[in-house]
Structure 1
């Protein structure tokens, strides 16, 4: 594969693979609430280098072992990891070679660059560096990207009744081949939104919260000039940044779907590439410390799966049992309800049934990953 010299040098002399935030990176993040958010803004803005929109194509296809834009987590086939076609519970409907040219057409006809915060939200003000910011510009199927257009991400009314999208995705609610759904917002029927599959909701939430932090000094200008449908996600302020209902939803997604290995890899990869990090991947607990008043602890609707059982015991532990022998458990992560990881368990040989001891009584989110598997569950230890 032919790479640009710049990327070769970048990865040759960048930090070690799987590097964490360097010592001292968050030393100035000492506040709480919106003071902390502004401190994080200063940190992640300071060394952010805009490498240009076209360079993203090279980033997506780079052979780095921490390239989370390629599938090293589900089929592990190094194809493009597309949030609109990935099927975590079976075979993908189609795959893209990262070396292929960008394109669109019908679903499965080509991939392109998707702005999780659409360009139309900020394009009328200016485009750099947000247009090329790899933390919120991901490779996705071109057709589904077109269906998404510049609508906000949100929970769709009657999602389970969605039929396959027609060519214009006008038959709402409708869904892509992996279940990404377009329809009316569950909290406001006048708003059209797109709901990703559960496995990527937390990833998207943390990317949008990153955007609200990295560009907090520009949000007022974006909001006052834009005519984008995505405007409903924002409130026009520098501090809270996200409108009330969408903020509660993003935080719920953040809690439901804790940080994955894919996100950890992308965080390190993009740090090497453009010089800054997503603080909500490094420190998920920052979300509570900044927007804690919007945290909710109600029951969540998690992925419906028939191939896994998760239940608690009387010994302050949880049992995870797989019914599908083609899958296996490689790692189990335990998170508090504010998103902070408190335990990580790894297994040399994939297991089909394990029991993990929880650190204390309370409410936890567990993330189970392995061969063809990623599932999140809330458990209560009494």
Structure 2
């Protein structure tokens, strides 16, 4: 299963993927917005069944089998999986870490804590939580070490599937951090982002006390501004896949809790806000679109600059509504009777300034 990295298709999948395996009523108390919603999700996924650190290898037999790329029943490792070429092929039980080897790729596999276990002192239940502890090539796991995830500017190490390590690109959406980071391939950026967002939610009651380069020592935002933006961008650029849905279901069967950001990808923006906007001119930088997501098929657009055109564009790039000289009431424009789906709203002013916003109609 190879993802196609066009923005339109990615956003379509991210917010339109049909989720399966969620028990009826599981999220019935998840009714809030912002950090209130995150706390509600914490209360839902808290107190999961601890299957022990050794038990992770049993969980992996159902949660991390390659039924998507080579489809050959081998271990699926995000650090060495190559969706389009040759790769390491680990067989569960045969190549498991026994305390020896691992001096090069494709030798042994072990358990990778996406948030390093040193952050939480290897304590239970974090150390054995399969939602963020994954099977991994032992060598690349050691190479990743405790470095945060980020966007590599200049790679000091590149691994067999294209994962790399190096200094963070201190510009664009990854601006604000220049230390060493580990960057997975595009195929798994969203998977890892959603694992980390799960961690921040599941351990909301403890995370403020843990020190890590990605964290800001709070229990609400949890992340530094830089790393939060990286996670949100990766979440959008690499949407939820069938592999993640199946993994979520398999872990739920073992641990009795779920990753809510796989079941409801839209909750990332509801809690932490949208990614950095695509505004191209300062005059329209303060345009706001609300509510977003909307549940009453209606949005409001507030702009101090008068708009002379509003376009509603679907995920195929088709303009499905074009409103010339839209009606303005106290700096606010209203679009009603919107069908369910994910859209781009392109706003234009009389002097040809434009900005594009993303909206979700539930």
Q: Which residue of 2 aligns with 1:71?
A: 66
1:127 matched to 2:107: no
3-state DSSP class of the match of 1:194?
strand
5+ residue gaps, structure 2: 1-18, 171-175, 280-314, 321-338, 346-357
What residue in structure 1 maps to residue 254 of structure 2? 273
Quote the residue 2:37 is aligned against. Answer: 36
The answer for the alignment partner of 2:134 in structure 1 is 138
Distance 2:317 2:210 in 1: 51
Q: Is the 8 A contact 2:95 2:107 kept in 1?
A: no
Structure 1 gap ranges (5+):
1-17, 62-66, 163-171, 224-230, 300-310, 317-341, 344-358, 364-378
Aligned-partner Cα distance in 2 for 1:361–1:268: 29
1:213 aligns with 2:213: no
- Aligned equivalents of 2:79 and 2:201: distance in 1? 25
Taking the aligned partners of 2:220 and 2:271, their CA distance within structure 1 comes to 9
| Deviation of 1:93 (Å) | 2.4
> Which region of structure 1 is more displaced relative to structure 2, 98-107 or 76-85?
98-107
Aligned to 2:231: 250
CA 1:78/1:288 → structure 2, altered by over 3 Å: closer, same or farther? same
Is the CA contact 1:70–1:98 (under 8 Å) kept in the aligned structure 2? Answer: no
Alignment of 1:198-347 (within 5 A): 198-223=186-211, 231-292=212-273, 294-298=274-278
The alpha-carbon deviation at position 244 of structure 1 amounts to: 0.5
Return the match for 1:97 from 91, 96, 104.
Answer: 91
Please identify, of 75-84 and 93-102, the stretch whose mean Cα deviation from structure 2 is larger.
93-102
In the other structure, the counterpart of 2:57 is: 57
Which runs of structure 1 show a deviation greater than 3 angstroms over 4 or more consecutive aligned residues? 311-316
Deviations 1:276-317 (A, max 9, x none): 00000011111111001x522449xxxxxxxxxxx967687x
Q: Deviations over 1:238-257 (max 9, x none)?
A: 10001110000100000001
Deviations 1:170-218 (A, max 9, x none): xx1x210100010001125641100000010000000000000000100
* 1:102/1:361 CA distance change after superposition, 3 Å: closer
How far apart, in 1, do the equivalents of 2:106 and 2:79 lie? 10
Please give the TM-score of this superposition, normalised by the length of structure 1.
0.66
Out of 154, 158, 169, the residue aligned to residue 175 of structure 1 is 158
Measured against aligned partners, the alpha-carbon deviations of 1:308-356 in whole angstroms (never above 9, x if no partner) come to: xxx967687xxxxxxxxxxxxxxxxxxxxxxxxx99xxxxxxxxxxxxx
Q: Supply the distance in 2 between the matched residues of 1:208 and 1:151 (Cα, whole angstroms).
A: 14
What residue is the counterpart of 1:85 in the other structure?
A: 80
State whether residues 144 and 176 of structure 1, in contact with CA within 8 Å, keep that contact through their aligned partners in structure 2. Answer: yes
Deviation of residue 361 (structure 1)? 5.4
Q: Give how far 1:92 is off.
A: 2.6
8 Å contact kept, 2:169–2:178: no
C-alpha distance in 2, partners of 1:153/1:131? Answer: 19
Distance change >3 Å, CA 361–CA 114, structure 1 → 2: closer
Normalising by the residue count of structure 2, what TM-score does the alignment of the two structures yield? 0.69
Q: Structure 1 pair 94/291, CA: closer, same or farther in 2 (3 Å)?
A: same
**Count of residues in Structure 1 that have an aligned counterpart in Structure 2:** 267
The counterpart of 1:362, out of the listed 325, 344, 348, is 344
* Cα-to-partner distance string for 1:353-378 (whole Å, 9 max, x where unaligned): xxxxxx67527xxxxxxxxxxxxxxx
Instruction: Give 1:86 deviation, angstroms.
Output: 1.0
CA contact (8 A) 2:78 2:136 kept: yes
Structure showing greater radius of gyration is 2
Where does residue 112 of structure 1 map in the other structure? Answer: 110
Instruction: Tell me, yes or no, if the aligned pair for 1:85 and 1:92 is still in contact at 8 Å.
Output: no
User: Cα RMSD (Å) of the superposition?
Assistant: 2.4
